[in-house]
Amino acid sequence: MASERLVKDVRAVKDLVVPAMVSDGAGVRLKRSIATPTLDHLDPFFLFDNFGSENPDDYLAGFPMHPHRGIETVTYMLDGSVTHRDSLGNQGIIQAGDVQWMTAGSGILHEEMPHAGPRRLDGFQIWVNLPRQLKMTTPRYQDVSSVRIPELDAPGGARVRVIAGSVDGVEGAVREIFAGPSYLDVALPSGATFEHPITRGHTALLYVFRGQVEVAGKTVPSPRLAILGDGDVVRVRAPAGDARLLVLSAQPLEEPAVRYGPFVMNTEDEIRQALSDLRQGTFVKTGPASAPAR
Ligand code: CO
């Protein structure tokens, strides 16, 4: 009991990132907060994209077949739908509320093609880096439909979808990820608060995409990525009007990292190897035969 910390350190906002408008894939316009000239990465997060538009011209070109190695790519849809296909033999539609957590490991080829829907396309993609010992792991794919993502009413009035990590003993839908991530979608009605413990030393960030929140005395409008300082808990409040945000945290890898397009490896040599594998047709080490069941 004596060793229990009686006072919890609340994480403050260390930095606010204004998303940059970029075009990626075959011409998808999106808001990028990590993997920009101002913020290359936030160990272990190597990309943070928020795509969202009512205009199909902004997204229909999609992301035709492309490779990944050395990372995990995580897609979370809020609205609209995306058809995906990959070299493991998976094919399906990611719909509103679904998550696709793809561990690229040794190499995967995939495409992600949005549909022109009656409503807007809205969602997120993040990249989580893999540690040295898992860079070349067998690709794995966790396709989680919306109904399998636990949703709960937290004390303080927040409605929380637990994609990864746990809230009040409720385990997220995505598990066994090396970096021990939390990935929460938090809806705060006006005046509500949400407090969430985050392991000391883990990287933590918030992405506010609706309304505004207050974090340790600082107002964070949308759309903004807020990088949090160290501490034991994050505490957010919606001071005026409804707000919605993602709460993300993970253990930093603290390893050398070299990024080249869709690859993040430890060394330049490993990047050269990835490019040479692509040229020689030996990039994909695991094919459809080992595709996991959904
Ligand atoms: Co991709």
Residue with tokens 């539609």: 93
Distance CA 75, CA 292 (A): 18
Closest to 43 measured CA to CA, from 254, 267, 264: 254
In this structure, whether the domain defined by 2-280 belongs to CATH 3.30.450.20 is answered with no
Question: Which tens digit of pLDDT belongs to each residue from 179-209?
Answer: 899 999 999 999 999 999 999 999 999 999 9
Question: What is the residue-averaged pLDDT of the chain?
Answer: 93
Q: Please provide residue 147's backbone torsions phi and psi, each rounded to the nearest 5 degrees.
A: -65, -20
State the virtual CA torsion across 201, 209, 129, 17 in degrees, nearest 10: -70
Q: Residue 218 Cα, ligand 1 centroid: separation in angstroms?
A: 34
With 80 as the cut, is the pLDDT of residue 82 above it? yes
Backbone angles phi, psi at 132, to 5 degrees: -45, -45
Q: Domain boundaries in the chain?
A: 2-280
pLDDT band of 175, cuts 50, 70, 90: confident
Residue 294 CA, ligand 1 centroid: distance in Å: 19
* C-alpha of residue 110 to centroid of ligand 1, in Å: 6
72 Cα to the center of ligand 1, angstroms = 9
**Ligand 1: distance of its center to the CA of 45 in Å?**
15
pLDDT reported for residue 291: 44
Q: 65 CA to middle of ligand 1, Å?
A: 8
Q: Which of 141-145, 165-169, 233-237 has the least mean pLDDT?
A: 141-145
User: Is the predicted pLDDT of residue 267 greater than 60, yes or no?
Assistant: yes
pLDDT score for 104: 95
Sheet holding 63-68, edge to edge: 63-68, 108-114, 82-86, 91-94
Name the nearest CA neighbour of 164 among 249, 103, 229.
249
Distance 128 CA to ligand 1 centre (A): 12
Ligand 1 centroid to 111 CA: how many Å?
Answer: 7
Average pLDDT (168-175) is 93
Residue appearing with tokens 């906002």: 13
Tell me the pLDDT tens digit for each residue of 211-249: 999 999 999 999 999 999 999 999 999 999 999 999 999
Percent of the residues in the chain that have a pLDDT greater than 70, as a whole number: 96
Q: Residue 34 C-alpha to ligand 1 middle, in angstroms?
A: 15
pLDDT score recorded for residue 52? 87
Residue 3 pLDDT level (bands cut at 50, 70, 90):
low
C-beta of residue 127 within 8 angstroms of C-beta of residue 49: no
pLDDT given at position 290: 46
**Residue 77 predicted with pLDDT over 70:** yes
Mean pLDDT to the nearest integer, 163-175: 94
Over residues 121-147, the mean pLDDT reads 95
One-letter amino acid for residue 16 of the chain: L
**What is the band of 286 on the pLDDT scale with cuts at 50, 70, 90?**
confident
CA 125–ligand 1 middle distance (angstroms): 9
- How far is CA 94 from each of CA 81, 83, 84, 86, 293, rounded to the nearest angstrom? 6, 6, 7, 13, 16
pLDDT of residue 292: 46
Average pLDDT over every residue of 83-103: 93
pTM attached to this predicted model: 0.94
What separation in Å is there between the alpha carbon of 193 and the centre of ligand 1? Answer: 35
The Å distance, Cα 68 to ligand 1 centre, comes to 6
Å from CA of 187 to ligand 1 middle: 27
